[in-house]
C-alpha cells in the first residue's frame, strides 16, 4: 500500500522549507501557507493580488544559496523564522516588516542578478509555479531512480515538493494524469508534470550547485519530477495516510 511519508510547505517562495505532520487541504486551493509570500526583485512586473510567473521573483535557479534556507511559520502570530548556514537566524513578520527579509536575503543573491526588492502576498492559491492553485505529489521511487542514475544519494528537498509517498514503481505518478487520487481524506487530480530547472542542482544543505540533476532526468527522456495536482475535494492528510488511485 502506498502511504504519505513526508509533508512539506514553503511559506515564502524559494526561501525555506518546513516539515509538517498533518495538513488540511481545501478544494481549489494550494497547500495552506505554501508560497503565500514571494520576494519580488527590482525588475519584477508582478501586480499585487495577482498570480505571476516565477521569473518575477528571487528564486533558487538564479540564486542557489537560497536553497539552504529552512523555515518555521507560527500561524497564530504570523511570525516566520528563517535559518541558513551562512546567515544568523531571522524571526520576522513578512507583512509588517518586509525589509527585514530583504536585508537578510540580499547577501544570498548574486549582485549581477536582479536584487530583492519587496514582498508580495497571495492567499489561497499562493505563488506556485503553475498558473492554477496546485499541490505537488512526489514519488520516492522516482527519486531513487534519479539517485541511481546520478550515482549518489540526493536530498529530497531539491524538488521542493509538498506531499511525498513511496511506491514500487518510479514515474507511476505520470500515469495518473487527469485521474483522481485519494490521499488521506482529500482527492487530488494530477494536472501537469512538474518541469525542472537549475534550482534542483543546488544542495539543500549548503546552497552550492553540486549535482547535475537535469542530465540525470534526461536519461529518462524528460526533465520532469513530480506532478502538480488540483485539490478536487478537501480533506485531512497525515503522515501514514494512504495514497490510492481511484
**Is the alpha carbon torsion for 190, 196, 201, 202 positive or negative?**
negative
What residues contact residue 160 under an 8 Å CB cut-off, 6+ apart? 8, 10, 17, 60, 136, 199
Residues 16 and 54 reside in one and the same domain: no
Q: How many domains does the chain have?
A: 2
Task: Among 121, 138, 165, give the residue marking a domain's end.
Answer: 121
CATH of the domain at 161: 2.40.33.20
- Residue ranges making up the domain that contains 190: 4-29+130-245
Burial class (CB in 10 A: 0-12, 13-18, 19+), 42: exposed
Distance CA 127, CA 147 (A): 29
| Same domain, yes or no: 71 and 104 | yes
If asked whether residues 134 and 241 sit together in one domain, one would say yes
What are φ and ψ of residue 190, in 5° steps?
Answer: -60, 125
Give me the long-range contacts of 32-36 (CB less than 8 A, separation at least 24): 33/9, 33/73, 33/75, 34/9, 34/10, 34/126, 34/128, 34/135, 34/162, 35/10, 35/11, 35/126, 35/127, 35/128, 36/11, 36/12, 36/121, 36/122, 36/123, 36/126, 36/127
Are residues 239 and 176 part of one domain? yes
Q: Which residue, among 129, 120, 5, 15, has the nearest Cα to 71 in the 3D structure? A: 15
Over residues 55-65, the mean pLDDT reads 97
Closest of 84, 72, 73, 130 to residue 109, by C-alpha:
84
CA–chain centroid gap for 151, Å, is 24
Domain boundary among 104, 121, 138: 121
Domain boundary among 70, 88, 121: 121
User: Tell me, what's the pLDDT at 164?
Assistant: 98
Q: Is the pLDDT of residue 64 over 90?
A: yes
**Per-residue confidence (pLDDT) for residue 113, from 0 to 100:** 87
**For residue 206, what pLDDT is reported?**
98
Q: Please check the confidence at residue 189 and state whether its pLDDT lies above 90.
A: yes
Residue with the bigger pLDDT between 217 and 1: it is 217
3-state class (DSSP) for residue 61: coil
* pLDDT of the residue at 116: 96
Counting residues of the chain whose pLDDT is more than 90, the rounded percentage is 98
* Same-domain check for residues 136 and 241: yes
Condensed to tens digits (0 to 9), the pLDDT of residues 90-135 reads 999 999 999 999 999 999 999 988 999 999 999 999 999 999 999 9
With a pLDDT cut of 70, the percent of the chain lying above it is 100
24, 44: one domain: no
* pLDDT in the model for residue 72: 98
Residue 236 confidence (pLDDT): 98
Per-residue pLDDT of 155-167, as tens digits, reads: 999 999 999 999 9
Amino acid at each position: 500500500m502506498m502511504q504519505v511519508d513526508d509533508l512539506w510547505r514553503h511559506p515564502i517562495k524559494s526561501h525555506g522549507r518546513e516539515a509538517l505532520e498533518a495538513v488540511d487541504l481545501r478544494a481549489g486551493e494550494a497547500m495552506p501557507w505554501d508560497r503565500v509570500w514571494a520576494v519580488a526583485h527590482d525588475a519584477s512586473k508582478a501586480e499585487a493580488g495577482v498570480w505571476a510567473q516565477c521569473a518575477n521573483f528571487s528564486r533558487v535557479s538564479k540564486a542557489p544559496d537560497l536553497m539552504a534556507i529552512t523555515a518555521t511559520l507560527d500561524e497564530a502570530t504570523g511570525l516566520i523564522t528563517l535559518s541558513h548556514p551562512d546567515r544568523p537566524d531571522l524571526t520576522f513578520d513578512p507583512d509588517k516588516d518586509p525589509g527585514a527579509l530583504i536585508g537578510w536575503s540580499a547577501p544570498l543573491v548574486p549582485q549581477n542578478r536582479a536584487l530583492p526588492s519587496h514582498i508580495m502576498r497571495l492567499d489561497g492559491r499562493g505563488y506556485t509555479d503553475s498558473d492554477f492553485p496546485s499541490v505537488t505529489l512526489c514519488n520516492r521511487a522516482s527519486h531513487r531512480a534519479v539517485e541511481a542514475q546520478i550515482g549518489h544519494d540526493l536530498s529530497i528537498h531539491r524538488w521542493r515538493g509538498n506531499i511525498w509517498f513511496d511506491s514500487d514503481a518510479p514515474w507511476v505518478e505520470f500515469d495518473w494524469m487527469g485521474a483522481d487520487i485519494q490521499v488521506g481524506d482529500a482527492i487530488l487530480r494530477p494536472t501537469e508534470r512538474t518541469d525542472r530547472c537549475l534550482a534542483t542542482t543546488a544542495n539543500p544543505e549548503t546552497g552550492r550547485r553540486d549535482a547535475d540533476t537535469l542530465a540525470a532526468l534526461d536519461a529518462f527522456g524528460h526533465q520532469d519530477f513530480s506532478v502538480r495536482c488540483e485539490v478536487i475535494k478537501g480533506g485531512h492528510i497525515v503522515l501514514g495516510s494512504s495514497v490510492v488511485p481511484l
